[in-house]
């Protein structure tokens, strides 16, 4: 009996393993599936974490990551790639080389720098390599505010400095930059007595798009960044343009926060 063909776009995540399932490759895989994509994954690091924090990690070697990726890429036609935790310069160089060699498209780089609990996931040498090797290969780079500040080496306090940080990242080779500003915008609006919004800023070339959603005051935020970037990758794989892919991903994450299961003793995972 011949199986019926049901071809799905294949999305590949290259990231760390969160054993609690809220972030990293587990969150990416769940997100890819929610958008009807087939999920593949290469593990860069095994982290020891849960909703309360990150307690350590054991990184893969660059050779291990390369062999994982080659096994997938030799067999599958990958429609989009999302990178998350890339903990060493050697791993970053390996990932960048394979993206270039294989001519891979729809690359979403989430520059994971530090966990919500404050655990550093990448050192300065690796971050410099990430900027140098991967930014120019990415269709979109998706830092949150602290990551954008560390990359651009400026303090972000308002719309003007958000735009400046994006311009600096574009000068490093990033074509499109999404700065996730939910916490900053929520605090600013609360101080002004306004209805709070979670606002993200997308810079496509020299144009800016602003995405607003309800600011949900909750501790259920574990894995939001991973989920947003993997949702963007899934929608690029489905043929959406950058602006539409970001808009769909933003709405998806907002609803996932709203309907979070509230499990664990810390920052609950969201509903993906």
Q: The whole model's pTM is what?
A: 0.93
Q: What is the pLDDT of residues 18-36, one digit of tens each?
A: 999 999 999 999 999 999 9
Q: Could you tell me the domains of the chain?
A: 10-258 (3.40.1190.20)
Q: What is the pLDDT of residues 136-160, one digit of tens each?
A: 999 999 999 999 999 999 999 998 9
Cα Rg, the chain, nearest whole Å:
18
> Using an 8 Å Cβ cutoff, are 62 and 99 in contact?
no
pLDDT confidence bin for 194, thresholds 50/70/90: low
Residues carrying an active site annotation: 180, 221, 223-226
H helices within 14-158, ranges in order? 24-34, 62-73, 89-102, 124-134, 145-152
């Amino acid at each position: 009996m011949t199986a019926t063909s049901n071809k799905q776009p294949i999305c590949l995540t290259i990231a760390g393993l969160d054993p609690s399932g809220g972030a990293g490759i587990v969150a990416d895989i769940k997100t890819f599936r929610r958008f009807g994509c087939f999920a593949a994954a290469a593990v860069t690091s095994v982290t020891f974490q849960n909703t309360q924090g990150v307690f350590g990690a054991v990184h893969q070697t660059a050779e291990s990551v390369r062999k994982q990726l080659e096994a997938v890429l030799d067999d599958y036609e990958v429609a989009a790639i999302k990178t998350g935790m890339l903990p060493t310069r050697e791993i970053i160089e390996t990932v960048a080389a394979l993206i270039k060699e294989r001519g891979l498209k729809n690359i979403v780089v989430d520059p994971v720098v530090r966990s919500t609990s404050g655990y550093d996931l990448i050192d300065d040498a690796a971050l410099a390599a990430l900027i140098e090797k991967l930014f120019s290969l990415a269709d979109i780079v998706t830092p949150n505010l602290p990551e954008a500040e560390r990359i651009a080496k400026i303090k972000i306090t308002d719309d003007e400095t958000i735009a400046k940080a994006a311009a600096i990242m574009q000068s490093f080779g990033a074509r499109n930059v999404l700065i996730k500003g939910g916490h900053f915008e929520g605090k600013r609006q609360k101080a002004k007595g306004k209805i709070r919004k979670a606002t993200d800023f997308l810079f496509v070339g020299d144009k800016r798009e602003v995405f607003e959603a309800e600011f949900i005051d909750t501790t259920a935020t574990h894995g939001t960044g991973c989920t947003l970037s993997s949702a963007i990758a899934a929608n690029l794989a489905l043929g959406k343009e950058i602006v539409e892919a970001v808009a769909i991903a933003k709405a998806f994450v907002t609803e996932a926060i709203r309907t979070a299961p509230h499990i664990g003793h810390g920052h609950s995972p969201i509903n993906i």
